[in-house]
Amino acid sequence: MSSALMQYGCYIDFFYNKFTTPKSKSLIIGDSRGLQGFQPKIINKKLKADNFELPISNYSFTIAQAHIGELYRKSILKKLDDTSKKGLFIISLSPWMLGSKKSNNNLAGEFKESGTPPHNMRNVSSNPNFEYLLKNLNYFNFKGVFRKNSTLHKDGWLEANNLPKDSITFKEWKNSQLKIFKGFIKDYNVSDYRKKSLDTLIKDLKLHGEVYIVRTPIDREVLELENIFFPNFDLFMKNICETNKITYLNYTKLNSKLKFQTYDGHHLDKYGGVTFTTSVCDSIVQKNDLK
């Protein structure tokens, strides 16, 4: 099994490779938008002259796991090489990541993401990682070896392969995502606990380098639902970033000019990811040039 995972794990599981690589001095953090949208190899190339401790690893997951809070923060700090002093930390943040199920009491330790990776992992840097195999076999899709619809690269980036070319399928996917978000609005609330946890995470990461919060480009229909769920999200981001003296890059506003295309309303394909990651790097360079 271990040899098969080492050879084919990138096709059968969205997360396994993240737990087989060494600790990193720079990290990308987020949900599936960050998982697919940020390509570490581009950051490593574009920012190699900017005195960051690279390479950077993508430690993003999906919205089912990547809620901001104590569980994710602890796992991030496990994956972080704590000798880092000039790291780069990109938090790919959506309003949903600050939401909690209405039935959960966060202050009492009730979290939807409990028991899922990375939160159920003690060892996040072992190859092969038998702990992951024992705890998370249910995440494996062995048919993925043959279909190869996605590839989880060693740097943590999830590449979507073989996307359909017809607009009908994309419209169906988008409608499916909109339905999910409408369910979130019904079943979730913005959590004050998670908002405070974001501030704690930022302060922890600032001890090891520079922190940037990025809101990825999304379609208008998705943005409208996010504004219903968390109407003052951008104001909250502005205030927390000003308080912590970090930069907020809001691509929901920039997208009106840059025209990033998603394939389901909120995920960029690998080609859009190249343009997006490059644009974020350019913004980081420009910010550092002004220092």
The stretch 35-55 carries a mean pLDDT of: 96
Among 156, 130, 124, 166, which Cα is nearest to 22's?
124
The answer to whether 276 and 187 have CB atoms below 8 angstroms apart is no
More confident of the two residues 137 and 198 = 198
CB 95 within 8 A of CB 229: yes
Instruction: Using the predicted structure, report yes or no on whether residue 258 has a pLDDT greater than 70.
Output: no
The stretch 15-26 carries a mean pLDDT of 95
At 142, the pLDDT band (50, 70, 90 cuts) reads very low
Q: Given 3.40.50.1370, 3.20.20.140, 3.30.70.20, 3.40.50.1110, which CATH number is that of 2-289?
A: 3.40.50.1110
Q: What is the pLDDT of residues 92-102, one digit of tens each?
A: 999 999 999 99
Whole-structure pTM value: 0.93
Going by C-beta distance under 8 Å and a sequence separation of 6 or more, which residues neighbour residue 226? 94, 95, 96, 181, 218, 233
Write the pLDDT tens digit of every residue in 82-91: 999 999 999 9
Report d(CA 223, CA 238) in Å as an integer: 17
Residue 146 has pLDDT above 60, yes or no: no
The answer to whether 14 and 65 are in contact (CB under 8 A) is no
Nearest to 209 by CA among 89, 291, 95: 89
Angle of CA points 260, 17, 49, to nearest 5°: 60
**Cα–Cα distance, 181 to 220 (Å, whole number):** 13
Q: How confident is the model at residue 19 (pLDDT cuts 50, 70, 90)?
A: very high
| Predicted pLDDT at 5 | 53
- Per-residue pLDDT averaged across 181-210, rounded? 98
CB 269 within 8 A of CB 216: no
Model confidence pLDDT, tens digit, residues 107-132: 999 999 999 999 999 999 999 888 98
pLDDT greater than 60 at residue 212: yes
Give the model's confidence band at 271: pLDDT under 50 very low, under 70 low, under 90 confident, else very high.
Answer: very high
CB atoms within 10 A of CB 208: 22
Task: Summarize the confidence of residues 228-242 as an average pLDDT.
Answer: 98
Q: Which two tokens stand for residue 166?
A: 């017809």
Q: Give, as one character, the DSSP assignment of residue 195.
A: H
The encoded tokens of residue 8 equal: 């084919």
CA distance 152 to 10: 5
The predicted-structure confidence for 72-83, as pLDDT tens digits, reads as follows 999 999 999 999
The angle at the Cα of 268, spanning 262 to 274, to the nearest 5 degrees, equals: 130
